[in-house]
Amino acid sequence: MARQDFKGGDAGESTQGLSIEGLWGLFGRNTRLFVVCGSLAIVASLVVASQREPSYRARATLILEDASSSQGLLGELALLGRAPQASSQIELLRARSTAEDVVSRAREPEDVTRRLGLTTIVQDPLLAPITGDVANDEPDGKLPPRLRADISPENEFDAPEKFEVEFLEATRVRVRVPGLLGAKHEGEFELAGGGELELAGCRIRLEPEGDLTGRTFRLRRFTRDEAIERVMGRTRIRETERNSGVIELTVDDSDPRRAAEIANALCLTYLERSESRGARKATSTLGFIRSSLKNQSELLREAEGEVVDVQRDNPRAINVTKSGEILIEQLSGLEVQRMQAQLAREATRGALALLSSGDLAGISRMSGELNDPVTVAYLESVAKLDAEDALQDRSDSGQYKLLLQQHELDAQASLELIERELGKLRESLTAVAARDVAAKL
């Protein structure tokens, strides 16, 4: 090989690269080799694609009930700091216990849609991308008839995991174990009496749906834990948007019908668990209400017994409502009397204060508060004399002085009489004050 040193010089002195003419010449000289390599690559790709397990996806949507009320802008901002609304429900769907219910076998006819018995998987070659396009005679959009199977090994660890089932006729099959040692475990069976047969230490139950003559199926047995992990690994659950309350569940499987069944079974199991959880909450709430009602009923019976005892011990208080009304009326009457006595006392104190200061105008205030008619008449006379004295001071002359002096003497006698009456009045006031004190008590 020629060697070229780059120690200077122009770019035109560099080695010439590959050209289209050179590549074409290389292909022309090795055409047979290129064709063989390309053909082998295409055949290998087709073989790998035909042997590859197909993948179909089923999608289901769950809408959660929104029990929360709108809380305005502040409430929406607070939701940003909390986990999404559907987080707890997504975890419930992802729970291993949910997958366990789906994988287990149905014991009742109504549980068939929720308990699928997924420890046995049937693979149909017609569902593969290339084989199905070539060998499937069904119209576009119609799936070929399927086979349901269930393998129950006597020894789960020693029994074969894979079987091949070939339908020789509608009711006759050939079952074998694939592999080099499969020739020892092969046989032909008639599907009669429920389609059960025994081979290689396993009891196999086949349930064909339609005519499967000439069809071959591959059966794969899983342990319970493997089947649960398979379902959990092929299930994807997410919330479509944050706090939207819409959960999207997707399941990938080699059979589109089985993928849809698994998705439906997961949703039904989730709904059943949600319903049972709500029923348990309602039951506990109902029990609490019943216990509270029972306690309150017992307290009510005790209170009614106490009321009956009180009424028996106090016959006058049998009609509690009427007795309360009478008591209220009596208290109202006493309160009115107390206020009247207080007003009379205040008026009398004011009149006495005026009289003590020499103001005879206090007599007019006192006359309305006294119950003694004689004393009231004396007080009115004094008031009248006081008025006449005021008039005489303005109009009397010398010829009336003697008369005035006589009137003055009469007035003095009346004043003495008034002083005696004032003594009686003080006693009356003392009696009024005593009644006032009694009314307060």
The segment with the largest mean pLDDT, out of 82-96, 216-230, 350-364, 390-404, is 216-230
**193 shares its domain with 253:** yes
Which residue would you say has higher pLDDT here, 235 or 430? 235
Assess whether pLDDT exceeds 60 at residue 79: no
Residues whose CB falls within 8 Å of the CB of residue 245, separated by 6 or more in sequence, listed in order? 63, 64, 65, 66, 85, 86
301 domain residue, yes or no: no
**131 shares its domain with 223:** yes
**332 shares its domain with 273:** no
337 domain residue, yes or no: yes
Query: What is the distance between the alpha carbons of residues 200 and 178, in angstroms, rounded to a whole number?
Result: 12
Assess whether pLDDT exceeds 90 at residue 235: yes
DSSP letter for 105, please. B
310 domain residue, yes or no: no
**217 shares its domain with 359:** no
Report the chain's mean pLDDT, rounded to a whole number: 77
pLDDT at 218: 92
**88 shares its domain with 223:** yes
Contact in structure between 122 and 235 (CB atoms under 8 Å): no
pLDDT at 4: 40
pLDDT at 261: 93
Which residue segment(s) compose the domain that 172 sits in?
49-64+82-279
Which residue would you say has higher pLDDT here, 323 or 302? 302
**393 shares its domain with 251:** no
Contact in structure between 237 and 133 (CB atoms under 8 Å): no
Query: What is the distance between the alpha carbons of residues 135 and 355, in angstroms, rounded to a whole number?
Result: 136
Query: What is the distance between the alpha carbons of residues 352 and 366, in angstroms, rounded to a whole number?
Result: 8
Residues of the chain with pLDDT > 90, as a percent, come to 18
- The domain boundary, picked from 252, 279, 306, lies at 279
The region of weakest confidence among 200-204, 208-212, 236-240, 319-323 is: 319-323
Q: pLDDT of 242-252, one tens digit each?
A: 778 889 999 99
Most distant pair of Cα atoms in the chain: their distance = 181
**335 shares its domain with 400:** yes
**222 shares its domain with 330:** no
207 domain residue, yes or no: yes
- The domain boundary, picked from 279, 311, 341, lies at 279
Q: pLDDT of 90-143, one tens digit each?
A: 888 888 999 999 998 877 777 788 888 889 999 988 887 766 555 566 667 678
First and final C-alpha spacing in the chain: 137
Contact in structure between 159 and 201 (CB atoms under 8 Å): yes
Using 50, 70 and 90 to split pLDDT, how confident is the model at 63?
confident
Two tokens, residue 120? 């046995």
* Segment 190-197 mean pLDDT: 80
The segment with the largest mean pLDDT, out of 14-23, 25-34, 164-173, 298-307, is 164-173
- The domain boundary, picked from 279, 301, 336, lies at 279
Query: What is the distance between the alpha carbons of residues 227 and 335, in angstroms, rounded to a whole number?
Result: 90
Query: What is the distance between the alpha carbons of residues 178 and 173, in angstroms, rounded to a whole number?
Result: 15
pLDDT at 358: 65
**365 shares its domain with 231:** no
92 domain residue, yes or no: yes
Q: Give me the number of domains the chain comprises.
A: 2
Using 50, 70 and 90 to split pLDDT, how confident is the model at 1?
very low
13 domain residue, yes or no: no
- Alpha carbon distances (Å) from 108 to 104, 112, 206, 284: 12, 7, 19, 29
**Angle, helices 96-103/87-94, rounded to nearest 10 degrees:** 40
The half-sphere exposure of 387 on its side-chain side, counting CA atoms within 13 A, is 8
**262 shares its domain with 334:** no
330 domain residue, yes or no: yes
305 domain residue, yes or no: no
Residues whose CB falls within 8 Å of the CB of residue 172, separated by 6 or more in sequence, listed in order? 188, 189, 190, 191
Long-range CB contacts for residues 31-38, cutoff 8 Å, separation at least 24: none
DSSP letter for 125, please. G
- Order of all β-strands in the sheet with 172-176: 120-123, 216-221, 162-167, 172-176, 186-190
**89 shares its domain with 146:** yes
Query: What is the distance between the alpha carbons of residues 178 and 320, in angstroms, rounded to a whole number?
Result: 96
**378 shares its domain with 257:** no
